[in-house]
Amino acid sequence: MHLLWFKRDLRLEDHAALFYAAKNGSAVLPVYIVEPDYWQQPDVSLRHWAFVSEALTQLQQQLTALGQPLLVCYGAATRVLRELCARFPISAVYSHQETGNLWSYQRDLAVARLLAELALPWQQYPQFAVIRALSSRDHWFEQADHWLSQPLYPCPARLPFICAANWLAPLPVPQRSRDLPACQQRQHGWQLQQTLDSFLHQRSQHYHGGISFAARAVNSCSRLSPFLAYGQLSIRQLQQLTEQQRKASDSTQQKRGLQAFYSRLRWHCHFIQKLEDEPEVEMRNMHRGFDGLREDAFDATLYQAWASGQTGYPLIDAAMRSLLHTGWLHFRGRAMLVAFASYHLWLHWRPLALHLTQCFVDYEPGIHYPQIQMQAGTTGINPDRMYNPVKQSMQKDPKGEFIRQWLPELRRVPDSWLHQPWLMSSSLQQQYGCVIGRDYPAPVVAAGQAVSAARAKLSQWLAQQRGQFELEKRQVFQRHASRNRPAERRSVKQSSQLGLFD
C-alpha cells in the first residue's frame, strides 16, 4: 500500500500525490501529522490551528465517503512515519513538495534521511508552479504558465478500506506557551465553497475598484487566500475557474474584475519561487548590503505601539486592530503596516514579520517573507515605499468607515478631523469625546520628520556601500527578479502593488 502524507494540501481535487498514490487501484493510507514542535515555532499561532482543524474535519468527511478515513497522528514526523511503516506494509510515501518555513524544510530533510534508511521511495509532486532546484529565472514564467494550464488531476472514485480512523472531534489543541488572543471573527475552514461561489459569480464585479479601499476590500477581495494557503483549493484550479467564469460572464464589470484577479493570481507562484530558491530569506535580508541597517536601532516601545494598534495614526491603527480581530487584511493595508513600521518607526522587518505571521490566518511563507522584505526595502531591487499615513488615510478611507469601525474612540470625530485628530483644539477634543493622550494616543512619531530621517539614514548607508552594494543587487536580480514577457511590460512599482495575499 501507499502512504499519502497530507501537509498544506488539504483537498482531494487536483491533488497530484493522491492521484498517483491511488493509480491502478492501489490501497492508500491517508495521514495527517500534528507535529508539536511545529506549533511551538514563532511564526505560527492557534488561529492557524483553528482553521486547519476545520479543514481537516472536512477532509475527513470527504475521505470517509471515498472508503478510507484519514489517520491523524501526533508527534514528530520521523517518529510517526517510522511507526506507520512498521505497522503497515508501506511500499512508498507520496506527498506534495512544500515551500514552507525553515523548520519544515529541515523536517523534510530528516524525513528524506529516514525513508532512505528504510529503503522507501518518496514521491513528491509540485503543489504550485514552483520549480525545485531552478537553475535560471529567464524562462520561469513560460514554465509556470505551462504547469498552470495542465488538466486538473481527478479524484479517485473510491479508496480501498485499510483501517478505521483514530479521529478525535474536536481535535486536541496543540499546546503553546504564548499566543495571540482568540480570533473570533476569522474565516473558517469550512467556508471554501460559499466563498469561491460568491466571488466568482457576484463579488468579483467590485474587485477592480474596491480592493485598495479599506472599508470595501473585505467584500471586494476574493477572500480565498486562507484556502490557498492550506491547500483546500489548488492555485491551478482557481486560475482555470477564474478564466472560465470570465469568458462565461455577460457583465463587462465582472469580466474586468475577474481579469484583474487573474492577473494577480499569476504572481502568486512567482513569490513562492523566491523562498524555494533561497529559504534563508525567512531569517536574513535578501540583499546582504542591508545587514546592520536597522537591527541595532530597534525600539521596543514603538514596536509595541505598532503591534497593538496604538500609534496615533488612525488608518494604521485601524488596520492593525482589524487584523488582530479578523486574521485578515487587504494587501494595501498589509503593505502600509510594514512600510510604516520599517521607515517611520525604523524597525527591523524580522520581528514585524513574526507578529504578522501569527496574525494572518492565511499565512503563506513563500509570499509572506519576500513581500515583507519588499515593503521593508531590503531586496535591493524594489523602490522604497514610504507611504504617507495621513494621505493614505484620506485617500483610502475618505469617509472614515473603516477607521470608525475599528477605533470606537474616534467615532464621534467628524471627517474633517478624523485623519489627524491630534490637530483638534482641546475644546474640540472634549466636544467629540476624544482627548488625545487619554482616549486615543498622540502620534508616536511626527510622520514628516520620521520619513525625512529614514531617507537620510538610507542615503548615508548606501553611500558607504558603494560598489559592493551594486554587485549584490545584480545577484539578487539574477536570482529573484521577474522576467516579464513583452505583452506584460509593467513598472516594478505597478507589479509590486498586486493583491498577492488575496
List pLDDT tens digits, range 358-411: 999 999 999 999 999 999 999 999 989 899 999 999 999 999 999 999 999 999
The backbone torsions φ and ψ at residue 73, rounded to the nearest 5 degrees and listed phi first, read -115, 155
Q: Which of 127, 151, 173 is the last residue of a domain?
A: 127
Residue 63: all three cell numbers together:
475521505
Q: Which residues pair with 33 in a beta bridge?
A: 73
Report which secondary-structure segment, H or E, holds 2: strand 2-6
Q: Which of 107, 127, 147 is the last residue of a domain?
A: 127
Task: Taking residues 423-440, report their average pLDDT.
Answer: 97
Under the banding of pLDDT at 50, 70 and 90, the label for residue 177 is: confident
Q: Which of 248, 275, 302 is the last residue of a domain?
A: 275
Instruction: Supply the pLDDT for residue 484.
Output: 63
| 493 Cβ contact partners less than 8 Å away, ≥ 6 residues apart | 383
| 67 Cβ contact partners less than 8 Å away, ≥ 6 residues apart | 158, 159, 160, 161
Classify 223 in phi/psi space as left (phi over 0), alpha (psi -120 to 50) or beta. left
Burial (0-12, 13-18, 19+ Cβ within 10 Å), 27: middle
CB atoms within 10 A of CB 244: 12
User: Are 450 and 379 in a shared domain?
Assistant: yes
**Distance in angstroms (rounded) separating the CA atoms of residues 393 and 82:** 55
Burial (0-12, 13-18, 19+ Cβ within 10 Å), 172: exposed
**Distance in angstroms (rounded) separating the CA atoms of residues 392 and 384:** 16
**Distance in angstroms (rounded) separating the CA atoms of residues 122 and 140:** 26
User: Are 91 and 224 in a shared domain?
Assistant: no
Given a cut of 60, whether residue 494 has pLDDT beyond it is no
- Looking at the chain, the whole-number percentage of residues with pLDDT higher than 70 is 96
Say if 163 falls within a structural domain. no
What mean pLDDT is reported for the chain? 93
**Distance in angstroms (rounded) separating the CA atoms of residues 253 and 203:** 11
User: Are 261 and 333 in a shared domain?
Assistant: no
Residue 431: all three cell numbers together:
466636544
User: Are 240 and 374 in a shared domain?
Assistant: no
User: Are 212 and 334 in a shared domain?
Assistant: no
Say if 90 falls within a structural domain. yes
User: Are 462 and 367 in a shared domain?
Assistant: yes
Say if 143 falls within a structural domain. no
Q: Which residue has the cell 514542535?
A: 37
Say if 180 falls within a structural domain. no
User: Are 9 and 75 in a shared domain?
Assistant: yes
> For residue 287, what are the CA distances in angstroms to 358, 494, 496?
25, 21, 17
User: Are 367 and 490 in a shared domain?
Assistant: yes
Residue 32: all three cell numbers together:
495527517
User: Are 434 and 337 in a shared domain?
Assistant: yes
List residues forming the annotated binding site.
Answer: 207, 261
CATH code of 357's domain: 1.10.579.10
Given a cut of 90, whether residue 9 has pLDDT beyond it is yes
Evaluated on CA atoms 420, 312, 348, 493, the torsion sign reads negative
User: Are 267 and 396 in a shared domain?
Assistant: no
Given a cut of 80, whether residue 488 has pLDDT beyond it is no
Report which secondary-structure segment, H or E, holds 107: helix 102-117
Say if 86 falls within a structural domain. yes
What are the start-end ranges of the H helices in 67-99?
A: 77-87
| pTM for the model | 0.94
| Per-residue pLDDT tens over the stretch 299-354 | 999 999 999 999 999 999 999 999 999 999 999 999 999 999 999 999 999 999 99
Asked if residue 226 lies in contact with residue 213, where contact means CB atoms within 8 angstroms, the answer is: no
Q: Which residues pair with 124 in a beta bridge?
A: 95
Q: Which residues pair with 191 in a beta bridge?
A: none
Given a cut of 50, whether residue 256 has pLDDT beyond it is yes
What are the start-end ranges of the H helices in 290-425?
A: 300-308, 314-326, 331-339, 349-359, 365-376, 389-396, 401-406, 415-418
Say if 335 falls within a structural domain. yes
Burial (0-12, 13-18, 19+ Cβ within 10 Å), 85: middle
Under the banding of pLDDT at 50, 70 and 90, the label for residue 166 is: confident
**Distance in angstroms (rounded) separating the CA atoms of residues 500 and 157:** 34
Residue 130: all three cell numbers together:
514552483
User: Are 490 and 465 in a shared domain?
Assistant: yes
Under the banding of pLDDT at 50, 70 and 90, the label for residue 502 is: low
Say if 265 falls within a structural domain. yes
CATH code of 66's domain: 3.40.50.620
**Distance in angstroms (rounded) separating the CA atoms of residues 255 and 438:** 49
CB atoms within 10 A of CB 176: 15
List residues forming the annotated binding site for FAD.
Answer: 207, 261
Burial (0-12, 13-18, 19+ Cβ within 10 Å), 200: buried
Task: Taking residues 42-51, report their average pLDDT.
Answer: 96
Determine the structural domain holding residue 439 and report its residue range.
280-496
Residue 339: all three cell numbers together:
512600510
Asked if residue 186 lies in contact with residue 50, where contact means CB atoms within 8 angstroms, the answer is: yes
The backbone torsions φ and ψ at residue 476, rounded to the nearest 5 degrees and listed phi first, read -65, -45
Instruction: Supply the pLDDT for residue 354.
Output: 97
Counted domains in the chain: 3
CA end-to-end distance (rounded Å), the chain = 38
Say if 181 falls within a structural domain. no
User: Are 284 and 242 in a shared domain?
Assistant: no
Instruction: Supply the pLDDT for residue 297.
Output: 85
